[in-house]
Structures are given as C-alpha cells and as structure tokens.
C-alpha cells in the first residue's frame, strides 16, 4: 500500500529569534545616565562644603550699610579667610560679627580702626592716627555731623562703622568689636540680580 506523501513531509518549524545583543548605543546611554548622577552628587557635595565651611548666605536687615547694601539684600560671607588666618582683617573690610552687647544678634559693618589705631570723629569726618580718612563709600547724603573724642583701639579689637552714618548703631555708641566675635567677611551680593557682584 502506497503511503500518503503528505505524511512523509516534515513539519515546517521557524526558529525562535535569539535575544538581541546589547548594543553599543544602550551601553552609551547607561554610562551617560551614570555620569550625570555622579556629577550631580559631586556638585551637591561641593555646594554643601562651600556653604558649611567657606561661604554662608545671609540676609541684610536694616539700612546701616546703604548705599552699598540695602535692607533684605542677600549676600555671601566668607567664613574661611579669617578663621584660618589666610587673610588679616583690614581697614575697609565689610565684616559680619556677633554683637558684643547681645551675642544672639549678628551685625554687618565696615572696619575703620585696627588694633592700636587712634580714631576720632570731627563733625562727621573720621580721623585715623591724625589723618583724615577718605571714604568714597559714604556719599554726602549719608554722612552726619556727629563728633567723637579720640579713642585708642585695644589689642585684638576693631572699631567699626556703618556706611549710612546717620542711620547706624556702631562703635560710636557701643564700642569696639573683639576679634573672636568677627566670623566672616562680606564678599558677594547674589540678590537682587541687578546688584549681582563683588562687594567693595
């Protein structure tokens, strides 16, 4: 008996597609994502170190440092430069310190007298060691006519004044600032944006 030809024909089988090998493009995308996360974490760590150990953002409250600094402006102070002796406190520096009469309050003023200096004020004109101090950061409309008898700044202390002389509580009324109370130097305005830049 002749066998049916159809029974002798093997079934047609299609092989299953092999998994596509990982392409070079996939590996590049994965590495790119990893690099982005790594850079983000690194940037955050740098920002934390800068803020905690070097720069600190602070808000100016009050008008005593006008016109250079106005109420509610935001600035960065450098906490590193004075603490580790990388820079000395110089006449003209704008410093941030704990107020000697109430350590819970923080003030910002300009350094006028260094340890050992003789400071006096005659109708608004400041004299340091008998020389008139040129203060181009104090416009005429911010000056006053007050006077102060000569004093000698004690060792490790600093005589400070606000730039807005007619609207400032400073060393004229409550004395000099001890060096340990000074914790930072104002260096940069970051808000508002139209005043973005270094402080003079």
Q: Where are the domains of the chain?
A: 53-198
Asked if 53 contacts 157 with a C-beta cutoff of 8 angstroms, the reply is no
79 catalytic? Reply is: no
What's the rounded Cα separation, in Å, for the pair 3 and 148?
129
User: 3-class SS at 131?
Assistant: strand
Other CB atoms within 10 A of residue 94 CB: 22
CA distance 151 to 31: 67
Residue 126: Cβ within 10 Å count: 21
pLDDT in tens for each of the 200 residues of the chain? 444 444 444 445 555 555 555 566 777 778 877 778 787 777 777 666 655 556 788 999 999 999 999 999 999 999 888 877 678 999 999 999 999 999 999 999 999 999 999 999 999 999 999 999 999 999 999 999 999 999 999 999 999 999 999 999 999 999 999 999 999 999 999 999 998 998 87
The predicted pLDDT at position 18 comes to 52
- Active-site annotation holder among 25, 43, 64, 195: 64
109, 171, 181, 185: the active-site residue: 109
pTM, two decimals, is 0.75
* Domain spanning 53-198, CATH architecture: Ribbon (2.10)
The residue assigned the tokens 């490790």 is 156
* Catalytic residue flag (residue 43): no
Q: Which residue has the tokens 């006449």?
A: 91
Q: Which strand (E) or helix (H) includes residue 94?
A: strand 94-98
């Amino acid at each position: 008996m002749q066998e049916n030809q159809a029974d002798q024909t093997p079934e047609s089988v299609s092989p299953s597609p092999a998994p596509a090998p990982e392409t070079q493009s996939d590996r590049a995308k994965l590495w790119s994502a990893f690099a982005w996360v790594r850079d983000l974490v690194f940037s955050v760590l740098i920002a934390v170190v800068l803020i905690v150990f070097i720069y600190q953002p602070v808000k100016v409250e009050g008008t005593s440092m006008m016109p250079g600094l106005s109420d509610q402006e935001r600035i960065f102070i450098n906490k590193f430069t004075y603490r580790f002796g990388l820079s000395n406190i110089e006449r003209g520096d704008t410093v941030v310190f704990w107020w000697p009469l109430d350590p819970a309050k923080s003030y910002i003023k300009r350094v006028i007298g260094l340890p050992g200096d003789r400071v006096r004020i005659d109708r608004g004109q400041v004299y340091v060691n008998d020389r008139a101090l040129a203060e181009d950061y104090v416009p005429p409309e911010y000056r006053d006519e007050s006077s102060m008898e000569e004093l000698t700044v004690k060792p490790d202390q600093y005589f400070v004044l606000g730039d807005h002389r007619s609207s400032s509580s400073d060393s004229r009324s409550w004395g000099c600032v001890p060096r340990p109370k000074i914790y930072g130097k104002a260096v940069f305005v970051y808000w508002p944006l139209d005043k973005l830049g270094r402080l003079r």
